[in-house]
Amino acid sequence: MTVRAAVAGASGYAGGEVLRLLLGHPEVEIGALTAGASAGMTLGQYQPHLLPLADRVLGDTTIDELGGHDVVFLALPHGKSAKIAAELGEDTLVIDCGADHRLEDADAWHRWYGGDHAGTWPYGMPELPDQRGVLQGAKRVAVPGCYPTVSSLALAPAFKDGLVEPEAVIVAVSGTSGAGKSLKPHLLGSEVMGSVSVYGVGGTHRHTPEIIQNLSRVSGGAVAVSFTPVLAPMPRGILATCSAALKPGKTIEDVLATYDKAYGDEPFVHVLPTGSWPTTGAVLASNAVQLQITVDPDLRRLIVVGTIDNLTKGTAGAAVQCMNIALGLPETTGLSTVGVAP
């Protein structure tokens, strides 16, 4: 089958990464490319690495440009996807890489993002329990946030099998591309190079309710989450250290058996051999998730370290993975676990 796909927000990091992956997808023909302020410019001015598309002119993000495609990827700022999505027909598969349709709780949306809640779409994390069935044949998909992706995959098996108490502490280090391409003084090279900084401290980062939503769903009850994001002087990648208190009687053997059961057959999630620890460099530009698991014997806390490329598995790779599932294509088509080194 040939799938004709459009990408809105093609000049940004997420849109560029979607296009990079679609260029290697054997079943996809790339149609309209749109942008906001960059409309009328060529894609090559913003994505010079996408040589096959460099001469394509970016259109306006309108229904006239995006209509008539089999798939539309919305790589737009938060709060901008809902309006254009509502104008696209029900026969079009719409994949939202933004936050507009991730949260189930309208009050949570108002608190963390503001404005009207656009509703909830099928959640695009196939590795969560029973989620592939929800995505099969779906016409609307909400791609998870990058921090929730690595944090949820790191801890979901433990919460699902009742190995840990209903609280989690997560500290995740991310590259600067997670903040998008908009000019921000604190993201200038001279500000970032040689410096590590925190932000969204004290439970104020917008991805917090999404992590809570995911872990609470798999656990069957409310889970409290303390989440601290850290900005590192690198372009892309996330390394998350996630911990939770083991319940009485649970052992490291129980934990390892649970994670083997959860991820033993997953194409993109890999629990590393004992003694090996995840690094952001190992997953660069791949759709892989790497995990390592241990237990602090003194505190009896489960510690899971996970890493992803925030632009690939954390955004665009998940979008393509969900497209494959929704359209009935092999899930791994156009995606790789092979990173780039050095």
Residues marked active site are found at 146
Rounded CA separation 131/230 (Å):
29
Phi and psi dihedrals of 35, rounded to 5? -155, 175
Q: Which two tokens stand for residue 247?
A: 């319940």
- 330 contacts 275 by C-beta, under 8 angstroms: no
Q: Is the peptide bond before 129 cis (omega within 30 degrees of 0)?
A: no
CA angle 167, 171, 173 (to 5 degrees): 155
Q: Would you say 289 and 307 are in contact if contact means Cβ atoms under 8 Å apart? A: yes
Tell me which DSSP letter residue 246 carries: B
What is the token pair recorded at 308? 């992803």
At 293, list the tokens.
Answer: 């698991």
Of 207, 178, 206, which Cα lies nearest the Cα of 192? 178
Contact 326, 141 (CB under 8 A): yes
Q: How does DSSP assign 171-205, residue by residue? A: EEEE-GGGG-SS--GGGSHHHHTT--EE-STTTT-
DSSP per-residue string spanning 92-149 = SEEEE-SSTTT-S-HHHHHHHT-S-------B--TTSTTHHHHHTT-SEEEPPPHHHH
